[in-house]
Amino acid sequence: MTDYNNYLKSEFNIDGKVLDLVSRAESSLAERFARIDDTTAICQMKVLKAFQDNHINATHFDWSTGYGYDDAGRDAVERVYSSVFGTEAALVRPNIVNGTHAIASTLLGLLRPGDELIEVTGTPYDTLQTVIGRPDGSAANKRGDGSLLGPDDFKGTIRDYGIIYKEVALGGDLDIDLDAIRKAVTPKTRVVAMQRSTGYDWRPAISLESLKKVNELVHGISKDIIVMLDNCYGEFVGTVEPTEFGVDVMAGSLIKNPGGGLALSGGYIVGRADLIEQISYRLTCPGIGAECGLTFGQNRNVLQGLFLAPKVVNAALKGALLAGSVYSMLGFEVMPSADADRSDIIQAIKFGSAERTVAFCQAVQSASPIDSYVSPMPWDMPGYEDQVVMAAGAFVQGSSIELSADAPLREPYIAYFQGGLTYEHSRFGVIKSLDTLYRKGLVTL
Ligand SMILES: *Cc1c(COP(=O)(O)O)cnc(C)c1O
């Protein structure tokens, strides 16, 4: 460690006190890191097996043109995803524009007018609220100036289609509230949706055990109710994926965990074959479904990214643990707490001031390989309620499996730190952020 710390002192001008603190935090994490390595080893073999079982070969890197009929590579990618996630079918496409699109296509593909959708992990991620059409009475049902949203704000949303939307808050322990979920389900309930990761919230990611309990409860009430999961940031954090224990359908983004930093774009939806078929008619159109759609030469990147993903998630998880540990040693509240088990790769840190939050994100940007010399500023982003400051000096625009940090500028000023294609880089993100805050007098050491 000494050579490394000396190098950072001389080449990156990092303060010795910062390096001492980070080194101390890191040594306290050795046992946790070893457990993460065990999980990664299993996930890596699971992915390898999926490649082997599906006879992946170099012709799968080719691609077609036009309609994209019989695109062998596209089919291969989707078979590999099905194997990894233990499902009957998958849609994995570069023209799923992001995670929000994957989740929205799932919901809009499965729900019909008069059906009921129940979100059972509290208020969903900001961009999903604009998909649903902001629930009545929620604070999110207002514009920035405080006026209420009108019918024009709901065009094409879930509510615009006459789908009933309900939300069940998390319990006092910030975990799922099984009693409340049981009471909320009605004969009209078609989809029970869960969000695994934190989003811009202050709660731990929902554990696999809790996701499993909801799945058992809901399927115990009726097998016809579809249990759906927003699995963003959760892939390869555990040795089991939620579809393996019976979640019916699950969606996520390829510029997060499963893309392994190599996928240029895209999303995935995995699940029961009948559900995936319905969703495919929404994603393209009825009659066409999953049979068409060009992959634009992305199959090799998508496959290689998936192959590397367990190791990349390993790096991100260790970086998140280090960030949580360092900032909690400094007295900041962190979520999840430094010693908690993890179910996603996000580390939230409550900075309590806009100045600290923005400085933290700017420091992470300055630690990046791309655009390290620019300083991100808070700005209005489509689908988000408040201004957001985002550090993403990434090879792939907006990729948050790469080292990144972001924060909506609202009380109590929480920054979300995630990613790092290598642990060494994620660790440097933590070091650089602390060095910056220290030099600006925003923390004392
Ligand atoms: C990232 C994320 C999404 C999707 O976001 P995109 O930017 O559209 O990919 C959805 N839900 C959660 C919890 C997320 O973290």
Per-residue pLDDT of the chain (445 residues; tens, 9 = 90+): 679 999 999 999 999 999 999 999 999 999 999 999 999 999 999 999 999 999 999 999 999 999 999 899 999 999 999 999 999 999 999 999 999 999 999 999 999 999 999 999 999 998 898 899 865 545 555 565 666 666 666 788 999 999 999 999 999 999 999 999 999 999 999 999 999 999 988 999 999 999 999 999 999 999 999 999 999 999 999 999 999 999 999 999 999 999 999 999 999 999 999 999 999 999 999 999 999 999 999 999 999 999 999 999 999 999 999 999 999 999 999 999 989 999 999 999 999 999 999 999 999 999 999 999 999 999 887 667 788 999 989 999 999 999 999 999 999 999 999 999 999 999 999 999 999 999 999 999 9
Q: Note the pLDDT of residue 141.
A: 58
Does the Cβ of 324 fall within 6 Å of ligand 1?
A: no
| Neighbouring residues of 383: CB distance < 8 A, sequence distance ≥ 6 | 100, 126, 127, 130
Q: How far is the CA of 232 from the centre of ligand 1 (A)?
A: 6
Work out which ligand 1 atom sits closest to the CA atom of 346.
15
| Best residue among 197, 232, 256, 404 to mutate for probing ligand 1, ranked by most atoms within 8 Å of CB | 232
- C-alpha count within 13 angstroms, C-beta hemisphere, residue 221: 22
Helical (H) or strand (E) element with 309: helix 299-329
Q: How far is the CA of 124 from the centre of ligand 1 (A)?
A: 10
Does the Cβ of 26 fall within 6 Å of ligand 1?
A: no
Does the Cβ of 125 fall within 6 Å of ligand 1?
A: yes
What is the rounded CA–CA span in Å between residue 407 and residue 386?
A: 10
Q: How far is the CA of 212 from the centre of ligand 1 (A)?
A: 21
Does the Cβ of 241 fall within 6 Å of ligand 1?
A: no
Task: For 92, list phi and psi in degrees, rounded to 5.
Answer: -135, 105
State the DSSP code for 219: H
Does the Cβ of 100 fall within 6 Å of ligand 1?
A: yes
Does this model's pTM top 0.85? My answer is yes
What is the rounded CA–CA span in Å between residue 353 and residue 442?
A: 10
| Best residue among 105, 123, 125 to mutate for probing ligand 1, ranked by most atoms within 8 Å of CB | 125
Note whether 141 and 134 are within 8 A (CB): yes
What is the rounded CA–CA span in Å between residue 419 and residue 317?
A: 8
Note whether 417 and 364 are within 8 A (CB): yes
What is the rounded CA–CA span in Å between residue 169 and residue 123?
A: 7
What is the rounded CA–CA span in Å between residue 4 and residue 27?
A: 14
Coil, strand, or helix at residue 207? coil
Work out which ligand 1 atom sits closest to the CA atom of 230.
11
Q: What are the DSSP E strand ranges found in 241-395? A: 249-253, 267-271, 333-335, 347-350, 388-391
Work out which ligand 1 atom sits closest to the CA atom of 101.
8
Tell me if the bond preceding 336 is cis, omega within 30° of 0: yes
What is the rounded CA–CA span in Å between residue 383 and residue 148?
A: 16
Does the Cβ of 106 fall within 6 Å of ligand 1?
A: no
State the DSSP code for 147: P
